[in-house]
Structure 1
Amino acid sequence: MCTGSCAKCLGGTLIPLAVLGFLANILLFFPGGKVINNNNNLSDEVWYFGGIIGSGVLMIFPALVFLGLKNNDCCGCCGNEGCGKRFAMFTSTIFAVIGFLGAGYSFVISAVSINKGPKCLTSNSTWSYPFQSGDYLNNQDLWSQCLEPPDVVPWNLTLFSILLIIGGVQMVLCAIQVINGLLGTLCGDCQCCGCCGGDGPV
């Protein structure tokens, strides 16, 4: 099995996840699908750009690096090109760590926001966080405490849950590439070429 092929597969999976995370974060700026009059009334976690920066931008670069690791000739990694392939796999490991940290950032921001609940207009005519430590998650009757924006609770809960799942999946994929990249650094790109044993192509 080629470690480059594995990296390409991971990169191809990370790209749509990054785009989805980016779009989910954009939608959070429109609570309930509506344009809000004052941006200060948005939840603080929306402005941390977990989906845009963490699961989005910081994930695109590793994904592109992973996609570029595999060429069409599996056994082209042997011979004089072996050193270059090993260095490329080592570089991919560094990018995988960056991607892991970005996804972790998005994951943490999403978890905090889900537990905290959204910022909304309450019955005392102030914009605040009416929920305490996730108490609203199991009691939808509490959602009525948010008067505006309409449907802000399910909107934020759904989108931040999506970001939470995306961040978790991205962390797993980047962790796999860290291991894959280290194997590629030690053994070269393809086991089918006998790179580990130094016997050349088979």
Structure 2
Amino acid sequence: MCTGKCARCTAGLLFPLGLCAIVANVLLFFPNGEVWRSEEITQHVWFFGGVVGGGVLVFLPALVMKAAGREEGCCANRCGMMVSMAMSVVGAAGALYCVVVSALGLRDGPLCDTGTGDFVYPFLNQSQGESYLSNQTLWTACVRPANVVLWNITLFSILLALGCVEALLCLVQVINGLLGCLCGTCIGKRQAGDA
């Protein structure tokens, strides 16, 4: 078992996931691919769940994991694995922040013009039985921006899924980092050398 390889593999997965989270968050600023004023954009977008939580706070542990899993100094890199373990906790917290913000964005629905010229949250405080998420006919309440409901549901769902996967990978690295810290980064090589 080589905890260093596992750390490099996990880092390799976290980089594209973090990039996708950033892109999804940025797209939420442009409902239906159009530019709107800041007060016409859903408030949950401004919490930067994908940029900060699913992006930056996941990139940091990924960089440390990549460095901790280097080939040279294989069995002596316990300190690097300990740092990667601590940074993975930060990454998991960031990913969970992304999950919470996305879940709130899905629950509250988009900010939109319902035909009165004012931008409001028409789906706010709905019970689960009458949720806009399960009743597509309610989506017509939003007149402008066009397709904003589908836009928000799609992108917040993507962010929710990405955050869950990132949190899981970071938690796996916490366990992997603990093993690497206690046993060294390449148990198999050390055992082969001892024989």
TM-score (norm 1): 0.90
Name the counterpart of 2:86.
94
1:190 alignment partner in structure 2: 186
Instruction: For residue 68 of structure 1, give the secondary structure of its aligned residue in structure 2.
Output: helix
Q: Which residue matches 1:52?
A: 51
Judge conservation of contact 1:115–1:133 (CA < 8 Å) in 2. Answer: no
Match of 1:176 in 2: 172
CA contact (8 A) 2:68 2:80 kept: yes
Q: Residues 133 and 115 (structure 1 numbering): CA distance in 2 closer, same or farther, change over 3 Å? A: farther
**1:77 and 2:74 aligned:** yes
Aligned residue number for residue 38 of structure 2: 39
Post-superposition, which runs of at least 4 consecutive aligned residues in structure 1 deviate over 6 A?
none
- Residue 41 of structure 1: how far off its partner (Å): 1.1
Partner letter of residue 106 of structure 2? I
CA distance in 1, matches of 2:145, 2:15: 32
Cα deviation for residue 68 of structure 1 reads 1.4
Match of residue 16 from structure 2: 16
Cα deviation for residue 115 of structure 1 reads 1.0
What CA distance in whole angstroms lies between the structure 1 residues aligned with 2:70 and 2:134?
50
Following superposition, the deviation at residue 156 of structure 1 comes to 0.6
Residue identity matched to 1:2: C
| Structure 2 Cα separation of the partners of residues 62 and 133 of structure 1 | 38
**Aligned pairs, how many?**
191
Match of 1:28 in 2: 28
- Deviations for 1:128-187, whole angstroms, at most 9, x for unmatched residues? 110125610111110010010111000011000000000000000000000000011111
1:115 paired with 2:107, answer yes
Q: Is the 8 A contact 2:67 2:80 kept in 1?
A: no
From 137, 141, 149, the equivalent of 2:137 is 141
Contact 2:113 2:145 in 1 (8 A): yes
Range with bigger deviation, 64-73 or 22-31 = 64-73
For the 8 Å contact 1:116–1:133, the answer to whether it is kept is no
Cα distance in 1, alignment partners of residues 139 and 3 from structure 2: 49
Report what 2:146 is aligned to: 150
Structure 2 stretches of 5 or more lacking a match?
Answer: none
Partner SS, residue 122 of structure 2? coil
Amino acid at match of 1:86: R
2:122 equivalent in structure 1: 130
Alignment check: 8 A CA contact 1:50 1:106 kept: yes
- Name the CA distance, whole Å, in 2 between partners of 1:161 and 1:48: 16
The residue identity in structure 1 corresponding to 2:160 is L
Gaps of 5+ in 1: none
For the residues of structure 1 that align with 2:183 and 2:141, how far apart are their CA atoms? 59
Q: How well do the aligned residues superpose, as a CA RMSD in angstroms? A: 1.6
Give the TM-score, by structure 2 length: 0.93
C-alpha separation in 2, matches of 1:136 and 1:157: 10
Q: Distance in 2 between matches of 1:133 and 1:60?
A: 37
Query: How many Å apart are 1:201 and its aligned residue?
Result: 4.3
